[in-house]
Amino acid sequence: MNVQEILTKASELQPQLQSIRRDLHQHPELGFDLTYTKEFVKNELLKMGYEPVSCGKAGLVVLVGGKKPGKTILLRADMDALALKEEADIDFRSQNEGKMHGCGHDMHAAMLLGAAKILKEYEDEIQGTVKLVFQPAEEIFQGANDMIQAGVLENPDVDAALMIHVMAGLPMPSGSVLVPSGGISMASCEQYHIHVKGKGGHGSAPHIAIDPITAAAHIHIALQEINSRELAGGEFGVFTTCHFEAGKTSNVIPDDADMWGTIRTIDPEGKIGGQIKERMTEITESVAKAYRCEAQVEFYDYCPCMVIDDALADATLTYMNELLGQGAVSMKSIGMDKPAGGSEDFAFVSHKVPTVSMFLAAGNADEGYIYSQHNPKVRFDDSVLFKGSAAYAYAALRWLGKSK
């Protein structure tokens, strides 16, 4: 195995990878409900001579290597889309109304299929085992955990794990691979639901009703004080209500009002995470009471911080330098080593085995890729797919070779 050989093999696959990605892009599916996607990926793997095994509610796993003794490295691609109506200016738009691959997980699945194809050609030489994992339900932070519960980290036991996420709209050359430093790289995320109970009535007679909308509006404003008045400067804790629902018509005071949002922090179990949740609960209940309502806060769907392993991150940066030269970028060197507010459910894996999570720039802002992930107009530069495949395959082969 040499690095040039891997890059050549990967670039020969590029047209195929692009058509796989565009097919998946036209057929986005959500959460664990990946009937088309899973079947598609499974068929591609079967064509390469793999025997895909289902794992958890909708995941797929294949192994390659294992003929020579050594460690096991896990490579992961997620496959799910977003509940978003696509407005991107492309001719292979989503055919599933209200669903869109707006985070690039179609790119990830195609890239890992490319890596599967390359790795199969080195099967006899691999010093250990590569476990390729196609994961559902990342966007709802449940897929990684579901696969862990189903045993994805065992049989064989996983010694290291690697994932790549594409990024659109970065101000850097498309195809660059960004490698993080060790430590926390992404925030935790936890959902909340605030339910405010009042007493409905006629819009003309608020004095004999109890208006939950007024109470909810005051709760919403009061909660902002936690960010502005109770967290110290530099403490990373963000929470945002993104969904507010109450009432159905203009002349009826409703019984209830509801708010949903997310909390992000790099200290979810500690002072900041604890303080935010405690104070959200106190403020919500007290403000509701002041306006004669009752309210509860419920926290759910927790995803921890992503923790990057120091040694694995350093080794990966070396491998990416060998593979891509200047195309390998240390996130520290460009000031991107501070934890980002975004979250990623592969974080569950990062708490179990040494993990590295890289980014692949897929669309330069100067070249018109101006929208970022989760925007209905986002476009991804899929001419970089082969670099993702090469990065997955090369990092795995190099790490196994070194760690035998």
Q: Please report, as ranges, the residues that interact with Zn ion according to CB under 5 A.
A: 103
C-beta of 105: minimal distance to Zn ion in Å?
6
Q: Is the CB of 45 or the CB of 103 nearer to Zn ion?
A: 103
C-beta of 103: minimal distance to Zn ion in Å?
3
Q: Is the CB of 140 or the CB of 370 nearer to Zn ion?
A: 140
C-beta of 231: minimal distance to Zn ion in Å?
26
Q: Is the CB of 115 or the CB of 287 nearer to Zn ion?
A: 115
What is the rounded radius of gyration, in angstroms, for the C-alpha atoms of the chain? Answer: 23
Beginning with the edge strand found earlier in the chain, give each strand of the sheet holding 355-361 in spatial order. Answer: 53-55, 59-65, 127-135, 68-78, 160-167, 355-361, 177-179, 328-330
Closest residue to Zn ion in the complex (CB): 103
Place of tokens 């819009």: 203
Q: Is the CB of 109 or the CB of 209 nearer to Zn ion?
A: 109
Q: Specify whether the backbone of 153 is left (phi greater than 0), alpha (psi in -120 to 50) or beta.
A: alpha
Q: Specify whether the backbone of 234 is left (phi greater than 0), alpha (psi in -120 to 50) or beta.
A: left
Distance from C-alpha of 132 to C-alpha of 381, rounded to nearest angstrom:
24
C-beta of 94: minimal distance to Zn ion in Å?
15
Q: Is the CB of 103 or the CB of 317 nearer to Zn ion?
A: 103
C-beta of 298: minimal distance to Zn ion in Å?
23
Nearest to 394 by CA among 172, 144, 114, 133: 114
Distance from C-alpha of 220 to C-alpha of 80, rounded to nearest angstrom:
32
For residue 277, give every residue at least 6 positions away whose Cβ sits within 8 Å of its Cβ, in sequence order, or none.
263, 297, 299
Nearest to 402 by CA among 321, 316, 308, 310: 316
Q: Is the CB of 6 or the CB of 103 nearer to Zn ion?
A: 103
107: tokens are 């790119």
Q: Is the CB of 103 or the CB of 324 nearer to Zn ion?
A: 103
C-beta of 200: minimal distance to Zn ion in Å?
37
Residue 361: count other Cβ atoms within 10 Å of its Cβ: 25
C-beta of 373: minimal distance to Zn ion in Å?
6
